[in-house]
Amino acid sequence: MTRRAPRTMLATALVATMAAGLTAAAGPVPADGLAAARQRGELVVGVPYLAPAPVAGAKIRTPEGLDAAMAEKLAQELGLPFSLRQVAAADAARLLAAGEVDVVLADRSLPAAQPLPADVAALSTGYAARPKAVIRSDTAMRRPADARGRSVCMAEAAVGAQALAQSWGAVVRTYRVPSDALVAVREGSCDIGLIDDAVWEPLMRFPEWKKFSATVAADGARHERVWLLPAKDTATQAWLGERMREWSRAGAWKALPAKWARDVAFDVYLDQEVADCHG
């Protein structure tokens, strides 16, 4: 007489078989990356530019671009705090090799980009943008040529925007943060503001920006944000690559620009409307 296996044993075997089938269908799971950050208990992210820290008592304002938001989101996935360190592109390989930073965010122009050192790998984030103009709707400026001799304002960190404005023959003015540049446009002390085109549209959805929703034809190269990391760290490349694919599937490149636009719009509100009411 054949003995039957207990139901618990049968259930366990069935679950194991199903799990194996799901794993095979999904492919190998990338090994956890960023081991040094996990051991340290903090994620250190290199960025091209850090705005000077505000002086004591100064207003806290949203920084240029999405670097801080991307670093924060990555740190949340690791369950770690994070810090930012300004890293020039020429120093990225050395600092990564020394373990002083875990990853570095950098700009790469599209479609062509300068080759990287052999010991550094670049991983696409999926986020790409180029500068786009913010202009009063009641002005006649609509072409890049119209900016010649005009004041064009942007954040100090927006080096691509500065280069583009210079190519137009404009007078370039930089500010510590993007909201300061946009306030200058709204108050009439600057003719044109430049922000990333990815954040331009969500900013213009706010009713108070309707009068500043004119722009010029798209101009200049698109730049993609990439993660730089050691070429030999294939575990982190696999893990981070899967994270970036998940970010894209989850709509991160709509959500993060929308949040940036909301935060900057509030910064401008505090600088203008609140000052007007309580100044």
Give the tens place of pLDDT for each residue, 59-101: 889 999 999 999 999 999 999 999 999 998 889 999 999 999 9
pLDDT band (50, 70, 90) for residue 20 = very low
- 125 with 50, same domain: the answer is yes
Q: Are 179 and 228 part of one and the same domain?
A: no
Paired residues of 106 in beta bridges: 226
Place of tokens 């969500």: 202
Residue of higher predicted confidence among 208 and 26: 208
Domain's final residue, options 212, 231, 264: 212
**Residue 137 pLDDT > 90:** yes
Containing domain of residue 88, as a range?
35-129+222-278
CB of 69 within 8 A of CB of 260? yes
141/249 same-domain check? no
Residues 236 and 178 in one domain: no
User: What CATH number does residue 138 fall under?
Assistant: 3.40.190.10
Confidence tier at 205 by pLDDT (50, 70, 90): very high
Encoded amino acid at 177, one letter: V
d(CA 174, CA 191): 13
Examine residue 264 and state whether it is found in any structural domain, yes or no.
yes
Where helices occur in the chain by DSSP H, the ranges are 7-26, 35-40, 67-78, 92-97, 159-167, 178-187, 197-204, 234-249, 252-269, 275-278
Which of 215, 176, 175 is closest to 192 using CA atoms? Answer: 215
**Domain co-membership, 48 together with 102:** yes
Task: Assign 111 a pLDDT band (cuts: 50, 70, 90).
Answer: low
- Kindly state whether residues 68 and 116 are assigned to the same domain: yes
**Residue 26 is assigned to a structural domain of this protein:** no
Q: Is residue 43 part of a domain?
A: yes
Quickly state the pLDDT bin for 112 (edges 50, 70, 90). Answer: low
Q: Taking a C-beta distance cutoff of 8 angstroms, is the pair 122, 227 a contact?
A: yes
Mean pLDDT on 197-217: 96
125's tokens: 């984030």
Q: CA-to-CA distance for 15 and 104, rounded, in angstroms?
A: 41
- The conformation of residue 3, written as its DSSP 8-state character, comes to P
Contact 40, 78 (CB under 8 A): no
Structure tokens at 141: 């400026």
* Dist. CA 100–CA 274, nearest whole Å: 42
Residues 119 and 246 in one domain: yes
In this structure, the answer to whether residues 147 and 265 fall within a common structural domain is no
Judged on CB neighbours under 10 Å (0-12, 13-18, 19+), 22 is exposed
At residue 27 the predicted structure's pLDDT band, cuts being 50, 70 and 90, is very low
Phi first, then psi: give them for residue 193, nearest 5 degrees: -110, 155
Residues 208, 149 share a domain: yes
Strands 43-47 and 82-86, how do they pair? Answer: parallel
Domain boundary among 212, 230, 264: 212
Tell me which residue has tokens 């103009």: 133
**pLDDT tens column, 208-266:** 999 999 999 889 888 999 999 999 999 999 999 999 999 999 999 999 999 999 999 99
Give the residue from 212, 233, 257 where a domain finishes.
212
The torsion defined by the Cα of 134, 64, 156 and 131, in degrees rounded to 10, comes to -40
Number of domains within the chain? 2
Domain match, 202 and 76 both: no
Question: What token pair was written down for 153?
Answer: 């304002």
Token code pair at residue 130: 């180029």
What is the separation, in whole angstroms, between the first and last Cα of the chain?
94
Q: Which residues contact 221 (CB under 8 A, 6 or more apart)?
A: 109, 110, 130, 160
Q: What is the mean pLDDT of the chain?
A: 86
Residue 197 and residue 217 in contact, taking contact as beta carbons nearer than 8 Å: no
**The pTM is what?**
0.82
Length of the chain: 279
Q: Which residues contact 254 (CB under 8 A, 6 or more apart)?
A: none
